[in-house]
């Protein structure tokens, strides 16, 4: 890949890789760092790209590895995410939405792997089942089944609370 090719790839894939990094990190600054490091590693090791997946899937897999590497280095828990901006809803509706959102995220937080990450990749990262399978080194069918099981587990946990 040439410099021009790298720039085009960066422009074309940045938002999808960043969105995926946001689902992992849940922190904008950390997601930006993960995204930058993923592109840096991808450009540095472009010869190892075998073309078995599209480039955005390959970069998301690199971003996942960057995130996991960073988590291994950290000895403390990540901070709570900042509040979401005001959407103009009334106090009652905002409180209900916030409570519902918190319940969903709490249930998702307690979901074991690979269900949590598969759900996040599909819902927040907007990846296809084929792409999710490639990120995990599994089949598209595995991704579909894992996502379906994750949804069922989340529904069970939401019913418990």
Helices (H), the chain: 3-25, 28-44, 55-73, 91-109, 115-123, 129-136, 140-160
Q: Where along the chain do its domains lie?
A: 1-76, 91-161
First-to-last C-alpha distance (Å) of the chain: 51
Helix (H) or strand (E) holding 43: helix 28-44
pLDDT tens, position by position, 5-35: 788 888 888 888 988 888 888 888 888 999 9
For the cut 50, the answer to whether the pLDDT of residue 118 exceeds it is: yes
Q: Is 1-76 in CATH node 3.40.1190.20?
A: no
For the cut 50, the answer to whether the pLDDT of residue 89 exceeds it is: no
Q: What is the pTM of this model?
A: 0.49
What's the pLDDT score for residue 84? 45
Q: How many CB atoms lie within 10 A of CB 36?
A: 17
Reference 46, options 102, 80, 1; nearest CA is 1
pLDDT tens, position by position, 36-81: 999 888 888 876 676 677 888 888 888 988 988 888 777 555 454 4
Q: What is the CATH number of domain 91-161?
A: 1.10.10.10
pLDDT tens, position by position, 94-103: 445 666 677 7
């Amino acid at each position: 890949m040439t410099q021009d090719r790298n720039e085009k790839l960066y422009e074309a894939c940045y938002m999808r890789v960043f969105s995926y990094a946001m689902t992992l990190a849940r922190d904008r600054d950390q997601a930006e760092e993960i995204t930058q490091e993923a592109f840096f590693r991808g450009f540095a090791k472009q010869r190892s790209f075998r073309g078995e997946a599209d480039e955005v899937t390959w970069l998301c897999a690199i971003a996942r590895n960057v995130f996991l590497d960073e988590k291994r280095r950290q000895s403390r828990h990540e901070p709570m995410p900042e509040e979401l901006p005001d959407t103009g809803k009334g106090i009652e509706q905002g409180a209900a939405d916030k409570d519902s959102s918190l319940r969903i995220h709490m249930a998702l937080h307690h979901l074991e792997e690979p269900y949590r990450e598969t759900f996040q990749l599909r819902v927040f990262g907007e990846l296809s089942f084929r792409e999710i399978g490639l990120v995990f080194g599994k089949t598209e069918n595995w991704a579909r089944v894992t996502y379906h099981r994750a949804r069922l587990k989340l529904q069970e946990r939401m019913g418990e609370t």
